[in-house]
Amino acid sequence: MKIVVDGETKIMKAIWYEDDNVKLIDQRKLPDKFEIFTAETSDDIAYAIKNMVVRGAPAIGITAAYGLAMAKKKNEDMDAASEKILNTRPTAYDLFRAVSYMKNNGYEMNAARRYAIEITGRSKKIGEIGNELIKDGGNILTHCNAGALAVIDWGTALAPMRIAHDAGKNIFVYVDETRPRLQGAKLTAWELGQEGIDHAIIADNAAGYYMKKKSIDLVIVGADRIASNGDFANKIGTYEKAVLAKVNGIPFYVAAPGSTFDFSIDTGDKIPIEERDENEVLEINGSRIGPAGSHGKNPAFDVTPHEYVTGFITEYGMFRPEELGKLKTLMEKDLFMNVK
């Protein structure tokens, strides 16, 4: 991804391996500070995932892959390291796929590198396929951050926007702020700004207003886990946007690599939903917004039923929910995806 640091434009990845450690752009500090977090042990990797130094389903998977390879190189107890990393966050399926991939490849560094290269390449492919949906002058709404920070590069939902922009299309992006952790306002707006893509941050509650005004042509979001029938989990608030899009006749797309599809479950009610600390809701940037004594409730994700999805943008092509059987067959033939 393109990043302007101290006035200098750099092409960077969100996660990389260097000097026997895993390096992560610290997403907790953006957009105000650009800092690199160094993970030296599997404890550091588990901390980074749990505390959202790195977040976004594919990025969590890639961090786990590099983290396990690093732990192996440093002669850690690999069962303990895997267990620790698996117990960080329950919803993003990429985490579980990456850990089983690494286990089946002896936790080798080459396997981690391969995992990262594969997922990144597939995100670019999602961008190329999704670009077909975006017309010149198109207005797109997105929720949370499914950008390069949430993969390593390109992103999932943001990849078609990057490709469309690079192809010279004049696009405008409505960016949901995405309470409570503001991944939209802090990370998506930052990425789009770095790329020079026109956008505006909106209150989460304003999406319906712009949809009804016909200001939005399509919605593209990411996903954390997708069930066999097409029900999918994504950042809390996605379900509302899907319902509003349907009511207003606006196409609603989900961009995700094969690593996010969990064909071991048939419907979305089987997807575990992470509950996070109430203070993420009760505070903004560390200042309390609620009166003392009031508690908060903080489900991190919700599940959108498949009937609200126009299509899934994947590296294998576009699929309507009822066509996911075809995707499953393609993934079964795909050596990289088929390492159980």
Position among 1, 48, 150, 254 found at the interface with ligand MRU (CB under 6 A) = 150
122 binds ligand MRU (CB under 6 A): no
**Site track 5-44 with ligand MRU (rule: CB under 6 A), x = hit:** ----------------------------------------
What angle (nearest 5°) sits at the alpha carbon of residue 186, between those of residues 194 and 250? 85
> Structure tokens of 179?
């309470």
Residue whose CB is nearest to ligand MRU in the complex, by number: 222
Which residues make Cβ contacts (< 8 Å) with residue 205, sequence separation at least 6?
A: none
C-beta of residue 98 within 8 angstroms of C-beta of residue 64: yes
**Site track 90-109 with ligand MRU (rule: CB under 6 A), x = hit:** --x-----------------
Binding region for ligand MRU (CB under 6 A) out of 61-69, 169-177, 221-229, 262-270: 221-229
Q: Which is nearer to ligand MRU, 144 or 244 (CB)?
A: 144
Three-state secondary structure call for residue 312 = strand
Q: What is d(CA 145, CA 199) in angstroms, rounded to the nearest whole number? A: 14
Q: Which is nearer to ligand MRU, 93 or 107 (CB)?
A: 93
Position among 160, 180, 222, 311 found at the interface with ligand MRU (CB under 6 A) = 222
Binding region for ligand MRU (CB under 6 A) out of 55-63, 127-135, 202-210, 326-334: 55-63
Q: What is d(CA 246, CA 286) in angstroms, rounded to the nearest whole number? A: 36
The distance of closest approach from Cβ of residue 260 to ligand MRU in the complex, given in angstroms and rounded to an integer, is: 7
C-beta of residue 184 within 8 angstroms of C-beta of residue 201: yes
* Torsion angle defined by CA atoms of residues 46, 264, 271 and 49, in that order, rounded to the nearest 10 degrees: 10
Name which of 56, 70, 64 is nearest 100 in CA terms.
64
- Which helix (H) or strand (E) covers residue 283, if one does? strand 283-284
Binding region for ligand MRU (CB under 6 A) out of 51-59, 80-88, 210-218, 308-316: 51-59
> Structure tokens of 57?
């389903």
- Which helix (H) or strand (E) covers residue 219, if one does? strand 218-221
Q: Which is nearer to ligand MRU, 162 or 235 (CB)?
A: 235
Catalytic-residue membership of 224: yes
Read off the amino acid at residue 84. K
Position among 57, 152, 245, 281 found at the interface with ligand MRU (CB under 6 A) = 57
Q: Out of 224, 231, 262, 302, which one is annotated catalytic?
A: 224
Three-state secondary structure call for residue 147 = coil
User: Which residues pair with residue 21 across a beta bridge?
Assistant: 18
142 binds ligand MRU (CB under 6 A): no
Q: How many residues does the chain have?
A: 340
Binding region for ligand MRU (CB under 6 A) out of 2-10, 104-112, 126-134, 222-230: 222-230
The distance of closest approach from Cβ of residue 54 to ligand MRU in the complex, given in angstroms and rounded to an integer, is: 9
The distance of closest approach from Cβ of residue 11 to ligand MRU in the complex, given in angstroms and rounded to an integer, is: 19
Beta strands 311-314 and 317-319 are antiparallel
Cα Rg of the chain (Å, integer): 19
85 binds ligand MRU (CB under 6 A): no
Q: Using CB under 6 A, count the residues that bind ligand MRU.
A: 17
The distance of closest approach from Cβ of residue 246 to ligand MRU in the complex, given in angstroms and rounded to an integer, is: 19
Kindly state the DSSP code that residue 261 receives in the 8-state scheme: B
Q: Annotated catalytic sites, by residue?
A: 224
Binding site for ligand MRU (CB under 6 A): 55-58, 92, 144, 146, 150-151, 156, 183, 222-224, 234-235, 300
